[in-house]
Structures are given as structure tokens and as C-alpha cells.
Amino acid sequence: MVLKAFFPTCCVSADSGLLVGRWVPEQSSAVVLAVVHFPFIPVQVKELLAQVQQVSRVGVTVLGTWCHHRQEPQESLGHFLEGLGAIFSHEPWLQLCRERDSKSWTCKATRRQTPTAAGEDQVLLIFYDQRKVLLSQLHPPAALPDRQAGDATPSARGLAVVFDTVARSETLFRSDRFDEGPVRLSHWQSEGVEASILVELLTRASGPVCLLLSWLLSLLSAVGSCWSRLRRHRGEQVCFWNRLKAVDPSSSHVPPKVGTGLSGSRSERSVPQLPRRPVEKPVRHVAEELQHLLQWLMGAPAGLKMNRALDQVLGRFFLYHIHLWISYVHLTSPFIERILWHVGFSACLGLTVAMSVLSDIIALLTFHIYCFYVYGARCAVLRAGGPPGGLYCLKICGLSSLWRLFRGKKWNVLRQRVDSCSYDLDQLFIGTLLFTILVFLLPTTALYYLVFTLLRLLVVAVQGLIHLLVDVINSLPLYSLGLRLCRPYRLAGSLPRRPADPPLSFQMQPLPYSRVVRVYRLPSCGCHPQHSWGSLCRKLFSGELIYPWRQRADKQD
């Protein structure tokens, strides 16, 4: 039978004494927590262990003896250690011995109740870093033995027991070497609590300090951005008034001081007129590009055979719409600019707010593309003679019903199927006439619909990307990632790597970043796309309007 003895690395150089720890019979493993040094009174040791056991609810017992030969091995010490086993009866009784050259260890585990040759077991010594094990958290956390012992693998369960034991017996590590107590212990904190207190204080204080720092930083950046905006604004005003003065010769004799004072007093009026360019220029540029696109469509795009008359009508309609849009932007750009200027202050609230505002601004400034898209979809619907109630119905709904008429069939609404039907002569004639016209006009409308749908999809994709980024930023576990980066042992993976050398040491394998993100991801706002790819394609084909991330509750319109 093989025993596993988990031995803390901090106790390697400790003086001889008793091994205090927990015995896990299911795993047949002994977790050594500390070493009690000589001299001690066995009653006091038992009292201490009882106290610890009461506080931590861990079965801390004396597991065996620890013997560190600094000098020549003494025969008497060996006998003494043998005798200790009678006082602290434990089954099996561990005997760890370290020789002077610190390379050779002897481990023995004896059972007193079975006085046969099989009473001596093999011992597998595994070293572990007590501090790291105490501070780290084993993943997955569900593998803790007191919660769900059944579904974890045996090795993981054993590790979980070690972690649990070390974490719960924290009271054992309260006293250090310099304490004036009846029992002297050796463990990870035995060198002194002060250093760890310092570390503790630092970690406790780091949270508020970081918060304060980040707040200060954001305040500074906000103030800086506002200051730069104000300065630019003011500079533009001065430029404007200088230009005005240059144009108007009568005002050239006005002293510059008065001019700036004038500009200050008139700033309320001059604000809306001046900073028009930053918004109007890209909008105008996009509109001009759209005009080029429409002119290309009005020709023979890609050698397609379009109906020229309908092409001209549609192209002129959309060109007129762009013209309207440009003049609208020209009229409203002062107000829009002012609104945007004030909305820009919301960037102080965080990156995600700024990105959301950006997304909304994009939606606002590409409203004409949305309009085109709606026109394209509805135009195709109307052109195909769809029923007036359902503007969102199939683009080719009319064509399909006329095709049924062409074949002498009709859609039976009551039975939800296609029935044959005898039409009148005039019905047939008009239906076929319309069908022929629609068939020949379909490519033109479909091309316009396609182009504007692609533009719309582009805008939707950009907005979706921004949404996705905001979502990622909102749900990214920054603290856990930072912990993983700076203190990898704090987040331990489920299985430690096993080294090949005989003195096994318990090496913490840090959790991979992907699992950190997966385990600690915050619940996001749930902005998931409404459509799957298939339904999106179907909707695009049938001419239904698509929205980026939300859907109206009532589609009846």
C-alpha cells in the first residue's frame, strides 16, 4: 500500500519535532501542515490541536515524527521518536527523517495494530508550497469534497482535499516563532507575521487606491478634453472674427482687444455657425459617393439589362432624396454639431458610453441609407403588387400570386394550399399583362434593392461591431485576468503537472486565460443578434426589413 504524504516546503529546514496535519483515509494521504518543535509537553500539544480542530473543523492530529539530523545521527533521538508514537497514537505512524546532506530522506509509515511484515507501507513524499496552496483557489470549485465528491475524478478530489485542509486550518498559522507560547510551530508564517501583514494591508488597500486613481485619471482626461475643446472653439472664434475683420474694412480700425471682447460677447450666436465642418464634411462626402453610385446604377451597371425608363425614374427619385438629405444636413448641422459637442462630454462616463454614443451617431448620420433601404424594400413590394396591408410581406409575393394565376391556380386561404381555379377572361388577361410587365421590371427593382440592402448591411455590421465591443468590455473579467497575469498561482488549474524527478513537488498549474475568461465572465446585457444566418437570408430575400439588435414587438405596422 502506498501512502501519500504532502509535505510543506517551508518545513524542510525545520528542527526535529512532531508532524501535525490531517489524515485523509479515503485517499490514504497525509497532509502535513506544520511541525511542532522540541521541547513540548504532549498535553499542551493536544490542547492546541483541539483548539484548532474546534475552530477550523478539520481533523488536525499528530501524524508522526520529523527528524532533521543537523549533526551526527544520535541513537537516543531515534528511540525517543519511537516512543512518541505511543503517546500520540495515530494509525499509520509517519516517520520522516532528513539526513545532513539534505539529499537523502527516509520515510517510514508503521502500523502498530498489524504487527506483521505488511505493517510497513511505502510512502510517497510530495512537497507543496504552503503559502501558494493557501492563497490559491482550485478550479473547478465544484470539485470540493464536501459539496460534490462524486462527480470529480479521484485525483482532483484528492487535491481538493489538500487545498481544503490547508485553507481551513488557517488558525494553525497564527502563531510564529517569536511568540511566547507553550508550543513552537514551524510553518509558512513562522518566520514572522509582519511581512504577511504588510502584504495583506497592501492588498486590502489596493482596491480603493486603484479606484481613486482611475477616477482621478478619468477626471483629468475629461478636464483635458474639455479644455482642449474649449480652446479650439475659442481659437476658431478668434479666427472667424479676424476673417470678418479682414473682409469688412470698416472694422479694421477696431482694436484687437475690443475684437476679442466682441467675440466673447457674441459667442452665443457664433457657436452654431462655425464648427459645421467636422460633421457636414463626411456626411456630404458620403452623400456624394451615393450620388456617384446612383449615377452608375442609372447607366448600365455591370452590363445588366435594366429597364431604362424605370431605372431613370428610380435613380432620379433617389437622387432627389439625396439632395433633400444634403440640404437637410446643411440646415441642421449647426444644431447637430452643438448637440454632438455636448454629447461628447458623456465620454467622461467611460469608454463603453462613448462607443454607444458613437453607434447612435452613426445611426443618425446614415439615416438616408436606412431610408433608401426601406424605400427599396417597400418599392419592390409595391411594385410587385403586394397587398396594401402587409408592407413587410414578400417582395415577390405579388409575382408569386400572379404566377399562380398564370398557371390557373390560386391560394386557398381556408385550406392553406394551392387550388385550381377558373378565372374570367378579363382577369386572366390583366393578370398576365401585369405578370409580364413585372417579370421584365424585376431585375431593375431587385438591383436597387440589392445595392441599398448591401449599404444597410454595412451600416448594421459597423453598429454590430461596436455593440460587440461594448459587450466584450462590459463582460471582461479584468480583475481575474490581472490576477492571472501577476499572481498565476492564485488561480490554480485542476490538475498539477507531475514532474519526472523522484522527489515529487506539488506544482501549481495556473488556469489558462481562456478558462479564466470563461469562468469569471460577467453577465452581459445579452445583446445577441436576433437572426440566425438562415433567417437573415430568408428575410433579405423576401424583402422584410431587418434591424440590427432589436425587433419591434408588433410587426403589423
Partner 1 sequence: MCAQPVTNTKEVRWQKVLYERQPFPDNYVDRRFLEELRKNIYARKYQYWAVVFESSVVVQQLCSVCVFVVIWWYMDEGLLAPHWLFGTGLASSLIGYVLFDLIDGGEGRKKSGRTRWADLKSALVFITFTYGFSPVLKTLTESVSTDTIYAMSVFMLLGHLIFFDYGANAAIVSSTLSLNMAIFASVCLASRLPRSLHAFIMVTFAIQIFALWPMLQKKLKARTPRSYVGVTLLFAFSALGGLLSISVVGAILFALLLISISCLCPFYLIRLQLFKENIHGPWDEAEIKEDLSRFLS
**Cell numbers linked to 243:** 476673417
* Least separation in angstroms between CB 412 and partner 1: 16
* Least separation in angstroms between CB 448 and partner 1: 15
* Least separation in angstroms between CB 415 and partner 1: 17
- Of 414 and 425, which CB lies nearer to partner 1 in the complex structure? 425
Which distant-in-sequence residues (6+ apart) come within 8 Å of 151 by Cβ? 142
DSSP secondary structure of 174-209: S--TTS--SS-EESTTTT-HHHHHHHHHHHHHHHHH
* Least separation in angstroms between CB 391 and partner 1: 24
* Least separation in angstroms between CB 447 and partner 1: 12
Chain residues that interact with partner 1, rule: CB under 8 A: 300, 305-309, 405-408, 422-426, 428-433, 435-437, 440-441
| Chain centre distance of CA 329 | 38
- Of 133 and 384, which CB lies nearer to partner 1 in the complex structure? 384
* Residue 12 DSSP one-character state: T
- Of 420 and 509, which CB lies nearer to partner 1 in the complex structure? 420
- Position of cell 414587438? 553
Buried b / exposed e over 179-188, threshold 16 CB at 10 Å, is eeeebbbbbb
* Least separation in angstroms between CB 388 and partner 1: 20
- Of 308 and 538, which CB lies nearer to partner 1 in the complex structure? 308
Distance in angstroms (rounded) separating the CA atoms of residues 117 and 95: 17
- Of 269 and 305, which CB lies nearer to partner 1 in the complex structure? 305
- Of 111 and 410, which CB lies nearer to partner 1 in the complex structure? 410
* Residue 33 DSSP one-character state: E
- Own/partner pairs for 301-310, CB < 8 Å, 24+ apart? 301/447, 304/443, 304/447, 305/443, 306/443, 306/444, 306/447, 307/440, 307/441, 307/443, 307/444, 310/441, 310/444, 310/445
Residues 549 and 530 sit within 8 Å (Cβ to Cβ): yes
CA torsion 475→480→486→492, rounded to 10°?
Answer: -140
Closest residue by Cα to residue 471 from 546, 361, 532, 548: 548
3-state secondary structure of 34: strand
Q: What are phi and psi of 299, to 5 degrees?
A: -80, -135
* Least separation in angstroms between CB 428 and partner 1: 6
* Least separation in angstroms between CB 406 and partner 1: 5
Length of the chain: 557
- Of 385 and 477, which CB lies nearer to partner 1 in the complex structure? 385
* Least separation in angstroms between CB 306 and partner 1: 6
* Least separation in angstroms between CB 300 and partner 1: 8
- Of 355 and 428, which CB lies nearer to partner 1 in the complex structure? 428
Q: Are strands 409-412 and 417-420 parallel, antiparallel or unpaired?
A: antiparallel
- Of 64 and 315, which CB lies nearer to partner 1 in the complex structure? 315
- Of 206 and 412, which CB lies nearer to partner 1 in the complex structure? 412
